[in-house]
């Protein structure tokens, strides 16, 4: 599964699932959005497996993203999940901070876990390079690429004019002869970066214009097993979770239940179709405060906005709006999606030709 295909599915409600395996990580990157350490919490492994076992041929995501923390601290669990995901007819992807790449070939247990997924993505940025040298990451990625698994890089920098990003993207293109696509993001002021990173300019609409939210399309299993409708880290970490963004818990709910809640929620339909700023502009006495994502988290505190969203997003009309918004966003393709959600200057790198995988 190539990166462009993965990104192309991102606006489609319940086409994907983000599955957090652990908050533990042996690295101490200064920008870590999850503030992960080796003492971090993690969902119950048995509950994760049971949740994935609830996939059926008729009700399953197209792709499951295994993430953390560092998911490859649990290579046996990665293999078990990937095997069950594939048995249900879905595909899996994994994002790693590359802790295992230091000083030698990929360890056999780690390599077996990577080979079990359909796409492998390596995080690399100035902060990771202080923990794992670029040459080591390149060597490990080449080993994975040569094994036949589709590979990409997940990069982060300070913005479009960051000289580090210019150097790193050029180095990757040379090293891998444009065989490895890249997703390039801007460091956000969350987690360990909250005290120093500048607020990003993305997701800030002009006034109350329509700006659909693709990030509310895929459910997210958080570190405590709660299932959220949004991948924004502040939303994933917030407890109690905003009522309109809470889809359930893996200890109590199966995938079919979570999927139905996501697809049938009038508020989520409208967030995905028009965005929170437009809902405030249309139904609230006050504008969307604190920016796009903060405004969405606060929707439950504005009953008049919730009532308006329910009125507009219920029934066949709301379902049609949701479907049409997803269709329009998918139709523009992965490059244009990344122009909005990543660093626009590097958006075309998601479409580099990767290597064939499973």
- Within the chain, residue ranges assigned H as helices are 3-8, 45-53, 75-87, 108-116, 126-129, 134-146, 163-176, 233-237, 255-264, 266-273, 276-283, 292-297, 303-313, 315-331, 334-341
Q: Which tokens in the block code for residue 316? A: 């066949």
For 223, the 3-state DSSP assignment is: coil
Q: What is the pTM of this model?
A: 0.92
Predicted local distance difference test score (pLDDT) of residue 357: 41
Predicted local distance difference test score (pLDDT) of residue 33: 81
Predicted local distance difference test score (pLDDT) of residue 196: 61
Unique residue bearing structure tokens 């879905």: 90
**Could you state, in order of their start, the residue ranges of all structural domains in the chain?**
3-227+333-351
Is the Cα dihedral 13, 81, 100, 170 positive or negative? negative
Closest CA to 85 of 119, 52, 54: 52
Predicted local distance difference test score (pLDDT) of residue 203: 43
Cα Rg for the chain, rounded, in angstroms? 20
Cα–Cα distances in Å, from 115 out to 82, 91, 92? 10, 13, 11
Where does 3-227+333-351 sit in CATH, by number? Answer: 3.20.20
C-alpha span between 137 and 141 (Å, rounded): 6
Secondary structure of 109-128 as H, E, C letters: HHHHHHHHCCEEEEEEEHHH
Q: Cα 342 to chain center, whole Å?
A: 12
Q: Is 269 exposed, middle or buried (0-12, 13-18, 19+ CB in 10 A)?
A: buried
Beta partners for 155? Answer: 124, 184
Predicted local distance difference test score (pLDDT) of residue 249: 98
Closest CA to 67 of 126, 5, 148, 6: 6
Predicted local distance difference test score (pLDDT) of residue 207: 55
Let me know: does 115 contact 125? Beta carbons within 8 Å: no
Beta partners for 248? Answer: 227
Q: Which tokens in the block code for residue 68? A: 């953390």
Predicted local distance difference test score (pLDDT) of residue 198: 61
Residue 201 DSSP code? S
Residues 125-138: tens digit of each pLDDT: 999 999 999 999 99
C-alpha span between 20 and 99 (Å, rounded): 17
The overall longest dimension of the chain from CA atoms, in Å, is: 60
For 292, the 3-state DSSP assignment is: helix
Let me know: does 121 contact 96? Beta carbons within 8 Å: yes
Predicted local distance difference test score (pLDDT) of residue 193: 66
pLDDT along the chain (358 residues), means of 10: 92 97 90 82 94 96 96 98 97 97 94 98 93 96 96 94 96 96 88 63 54 94 96 90 96 98 97 94 83 91 95 95 94 92 94 61
Predicted local distance difference test score (pLDDT) of residue 201: 44
Predicted local distance difference test score (pLDDT) of residue 206: 46
**b/e per residue, 178-210, with b = 16+ CB within 10 A?**
eebbbbbbbbbebbbbeeebeebebbebeebee
Predicted local distance difference test score (pLDDT) of residue 354: 57
Count of positions (residues) in the chain: 358
Percentage helix, strand, coil, to 5, in the chain?
Answer: 45, 15, 40
**b/e per residue, 217-255, with b = 16+ CB within 10 A?**
bbbbbbbbbbbbbbbbbbbbbbeebbebbbbbbbeebbb
């Amino acid at each position: 599964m190539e990166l462009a295909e993965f990104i192309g599915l991102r606006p489609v409600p319940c086409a994907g699932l983000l599955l957090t395996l652990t908050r533990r990580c042996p690295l101490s990157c200064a920008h870590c959005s999850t503030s992960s350490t080796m003492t971090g919490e993690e969902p119950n492994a048995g509950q994760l497996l049971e949740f994935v076992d609830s996939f059926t041929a008729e009700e399953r995501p197209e792709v499951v993203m295994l993430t953390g923390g560092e998911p490859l601290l649990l290579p046996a669990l990665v293999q078990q999940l990937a095997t069950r995901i594939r048995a249900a007819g879905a595909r899996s992807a994994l994002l790693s901070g590359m802790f295992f790449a230091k000083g030698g070939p990929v360890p056999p247990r780690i390599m077996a876990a990577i080979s079990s997924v359909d796409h492998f993505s390596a995080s690399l940025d100035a902060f990771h390079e202080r923990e794992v040298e670029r040459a080591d990451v390149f060597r490990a990625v080449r080993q994975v690429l040569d094994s036949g698994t589709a590979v990409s890089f997940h990069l982060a920098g300070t913005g479009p004019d960051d000289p580090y990003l210019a150097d790193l993207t050029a180095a990757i293109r040379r090293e891998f002869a444009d065989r490895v696509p890249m997703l390039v993001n801007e460091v956000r002021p969350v987690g360990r970066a909250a005290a120093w990173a500048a607020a990003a300019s993305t997701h800030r609409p002009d006034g109350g214009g329509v700006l659909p939210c693709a990030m509310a399309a895929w459910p997210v299993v958080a570190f405590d097993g709660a299932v959220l409708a949004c991948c924004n880290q502040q939303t994933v970490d917030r407890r109690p979770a905003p009522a309109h963004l809470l889809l359930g818990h893996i200890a109590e709910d199966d995938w079919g239940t979570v999927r139905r809640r996501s697809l049938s929620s009038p508020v989520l339909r409208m967030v995905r179709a028009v965005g929170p700023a437009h809902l405030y502009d249309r139904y609230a006495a006050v504008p969307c405060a604190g920016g796009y994502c903060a405004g969405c988290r606060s929707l439950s505190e504005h009953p008049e906005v919730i009532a308006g969203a329910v009125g507009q997003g219920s029934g066949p009309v709301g379902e049609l709006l949701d479907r049409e918004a997803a269709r329009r966003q998918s139709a523009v393709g992965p490059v244009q999606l990344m122009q909005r959600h990543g660093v626009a200057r590097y958006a075309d790198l998601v479409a580099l030709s990767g290597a064939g995988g499973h």
